[in-house]
Amino acid sequence: SQQGEEDPQALSIQEGENATMNCSYKTSINNLQWYRQNSGRGLVHLILIRSNEREKHSGRLRVTLDTSKKSSSLLITASRAADTASYFCATVDRGNTPLVFGKGTRLSVIA
């Protein structure tokens, strides 16, 4: 199985700024998903992008996927204090192995 690896490990920004997190993986994928985890809570699904898609939007979230570089990015625009959380990418490979999560990016948005 493969594991997505997020970069950076931690990110601190001011409210209103954009936050960009990156994810790299090793093998061919079926889809890639981003999740958010608030402190002390379970993970919440944010967005899924399939291997034949290059970009996807959901509200203030924008996800890109570059399968040639085996990487994805998550952009949160106009960040808010409530966006403070850990963000994880997870991949489903071509063999349809279930999600394998990276260790996440800890985002702090300072009001």
- Residues within the interface to another protein (CB under 8 A): 30-31, 33, 41-45, 48, 88, 92, 96, 98-104
Task: Rank residues 15 and 97 by Cβ distance to another protein and give the closer one.
Answer: 97
Task: Rank residues 11 and 101 by Cβ distance to another protein and give the closer one.
Answer: 101
Tell me the C-alpha distance between 5 and 2, whole Å: 10
Question: CB 16 → another protein: shortest distance, Å?
Answer: 29
Task: Rank residues 17 and 50 by Cβ distance to another protein and give the closer one.
Answer: 50
Question: CB 95 → another protein: shortest distance, Å?
Answer: 10
Provide the phi-psi class of 9: left if phi over 0, else alpha when psi is between -120 and 50, else beta.
Answer: alpha
Question: CB 72 → another protein: shortest distance, Å?
Answer: 16
Task: Rank residues 15 and 51 by Cβ distance to another protein and give the closer one.
Answer: 51
Tell me the C-alpha distance between 97 and 11, whole Å: 30
